[in-house]
């Protein structure tokens, strides 16, 4: 696969000395749904702003669709749909009229097909019934949908989305995930920044993890998760006793959640069967026992040493 986005040594230092992005080498394969992960302040939004030609890097290079940014912004951006830091809307205009205004500002847009394309974009994000309502009356989730519709007014080779499910209810999140999969199936590369790890794991084929301005890792989602150990999980009504015994058996990072007790699996010199037997012998009623497959959350915590807001 060729790279749709590529950075080499990308660095951005703001006035006052703040280093927001530090020597970033990022490669986004064509046709991928690429998740861009990191806690607040990790440099994700600054990186996106450089990629979209909104700010100049301090050092290094950023290439989008084979062209250097921001130098080639006029050539590249008509082929890119973007939703960054929430949509800018005219509150006194309807959702439909906002999209018409957006499309009218695009010199590459064909005015003869404008209303048809606007109607199609509204339908794709589920806003047809609210198209005539003023944008100031839209909920946060509806505004996010309208911003995504604006990014879909024209066929795009690349779609850049910064927190696209912000403010959406679970049904809306499922619909956006389905739309992202559709777009990828049609050949659009999707670059998706999110703090929702479960969202990334469900929809993305590739991901990168940033922390404090530096890239920690990148690759396929399956490979990133496989690089971390899964969690030992015990289902039992006797959670306090199970947690105590697991700690005595050398299990670390023990956590209790309802009827689940989890922890990092013991070392290779300890058999899981022996751990299970010790729990039973200690009077713990074991209803379930095993090592769950490592998740992207496990990989993130292992890489950064930090927790992550997986629930949003």
pLDDT of 250: 85
- Strand 252-257 to 260-264 pairing: antiparallel
What is the four-CA torsion angle of 197, 199, 202, 205, rounded to 10 degrees? Answer: -70
Candidate ranges 88-102, 210-224, 262-276; pick with highest mean pLDDT? 88-102
Map tokens 């040493």 to a residue: 305
For residue 155, which phi and psi values (nearest 5 degrees)?
-60, 135
Which architecture does CATH list for 232-292?
Answer: 2-Layer Sandwich (3.30)
Q: How far is CA 6 from CA 33, 42, 105, 186, 255, in A?
A: 15, 18, 28, 22, 40
**pTM strictly above 0.95:** no
What is the rounded average pLDDT of the residues 246-268? 85
What is the rounded average pLDDT of the residues 223-238? 77
- HSE (side-chain half, CA atoms, 13 Å) at 156: 28
**Model confidence at 131: pLDDT above 90:** yes
What is the rounded average pLDDT of the residues 175-198? 86
What is the rounded average pLDDT of the residues 61-67? 95
What is the rounded average pLDDT of the residues 60-85? 92
Calculate what percentage of the chain has a pLDDT beyond 70.
Answer: 91
pLDDT of 308: 46
**Model confidence at 281: pLDDT above 70:** yes
Q: Domain spanning 3-224 has what CATH number?
A: 3.40.50.300
What is the rounded average pLDDT of the residues 202-214? 89
pLDDT of 294: 55
CA–CA separation, 221 and 245 (whole Å):
34
pLDDT of 312: 33
What is the rounded average pLDDT of the residues 120-135? 94
Map tokens 């379930």 to a residue: 288
**Model confidence at 96: pLDDT above 90:** yes
**Model confidence at 271: pLDDT above 60:** yes
Give the residue extent of every domain in the chain: 3-224, 232-292
Token representation of residue 83 = 């939703």
**Model confidence at 238: pLDDT above 60:** yes
- Banded model confidence at residue 177, pLDDT cuts 50, 70, 90: confident
pLDDT of 100: 97
Mean pLDDT of the chain: 87
Which strand (E) or helix (H) includes residue 201? helix 197-203
């Amino acid at each position: 696969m060729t790279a749709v986005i590529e950075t080499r040594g990308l660095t951005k230092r703001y006035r006052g000395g703040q280093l927001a992005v530090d020597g970033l080498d990022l490669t986004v394969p064509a046709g991928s749904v690429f998740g861009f992960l990191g806690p607040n302040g990790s440099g994700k939004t600054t990186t996106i702003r450089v990629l979209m030609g909104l700010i100049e890097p301090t050092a290094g290079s950023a290439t989008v669709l084979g062209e250097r940014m921001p130098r080639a912004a006029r050539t590249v951006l008509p082929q890119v749909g973007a939703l960054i830091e929430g949509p800018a809307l005219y509150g006194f205009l309807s959702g439909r009229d906002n999209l018409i205004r957006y499309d009218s500002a695009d010199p590459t847009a064909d005015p003869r097909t404008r209303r048809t394309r606007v109607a199609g974009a509204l339908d794709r994000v589920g806003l047809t019934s609210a198209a005539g309502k003023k944008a100031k009356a839209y909920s946060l989730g509806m505004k996010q949908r309208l911003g995504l519709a604006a990014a879909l007014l024209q066929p795009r080779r690349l779609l850049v989305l910064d927190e696209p499910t912000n403010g959406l209810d679970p049904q809306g999140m499922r619909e956006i995930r389905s739309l992202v999969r559709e777009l990828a199936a049609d050949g659009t590369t999707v670059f998706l920044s999110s703090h929702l790890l479960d969202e990334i794991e469900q929809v993305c084929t590739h991901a990168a993890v940033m922390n404090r301005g530096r890239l920690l890792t990148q690759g396929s989602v399956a490979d990133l998760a496989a690089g971390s150990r899964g969690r030992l999980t015990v289902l039992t009504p006797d959670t306090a006793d199970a947690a105590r015994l697991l700690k005595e058996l050398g299990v670390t990072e023990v956590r209790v959640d309802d009827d689940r007790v989890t922890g990092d699996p013991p070392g290779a010199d300890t058999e899981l069967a022996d751990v299970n037997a010790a729990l039973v012998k200690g009077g713990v009623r074991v209803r379930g026992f095993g090592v769950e497959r490592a998740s992207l959350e496990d990989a993130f915590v292992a890489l950064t040493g930090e927790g992550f807001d997986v629930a949003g």
